[in-house]
Structure formats: C-alpha cells, structure tokens
C-alpha cells in the first residue's frame, strides 16, 4: 500500500469516526479512544 493510499484510508476512517461520535455519544465510557480529539 502506498503512503498516499494509507493517508487516504486514515482520513476516511477519521471522518467515519467523527460521524459515529455524533450519532452515538459515549458519555461515561472510559476507553481511551473515545477521548481522542477530532482531526483538524
């Protein structure tokens, strides 16, 4: 996998995660990945 494709994959996953956070709030969940800042 080329570096450009990898960066694209990460960007797509970041967008999907942001949308998931908007739909399914995880208030009170202690997993560290629920506290990651949104990408710039």
Q: Is residue 40 part of a domain?
A: no
In order along its 40 residues, the chain shows pLDDT tens digits of 799 999 999 999 999 988 887 787 666 677 788 778 887 7
CB 18 within 8 A of CB 38: yes
Q: Is residue 34 part of a domain?
A: no
From the CA atom positions of the chain, what is the Rg in Å? 12
Query: Rounded distance, CA 12 to CA 15, Å?
Result: 5
Is residue 33 assigned to a domain? no
Structural domain range at position 21: 3-28
Instruction: Indicate whether 39 belongs to any domain.
Output: no
CA distance 33 to 40: 17
Domain count across the chain: 1
What pLDDT, on a 0 to 100 scale, did the predictor assign at position 9? 95
The one-character DSSP state at 11 is: H
Question: Mean pLDDT, the chain, as a whole number?
Answer: 83
Written as six digits, the tokens of 5 are 């494709």
């Amino acid at each position: 996998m080329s570096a450009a494709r990898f960066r694209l994959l990460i960007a797509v996953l970041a967008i999907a995660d942001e949308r998931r956070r908007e739909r399914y709030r995880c208030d009170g969940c202690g997993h560290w990945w629920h506290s990651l800042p949104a990408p710039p």
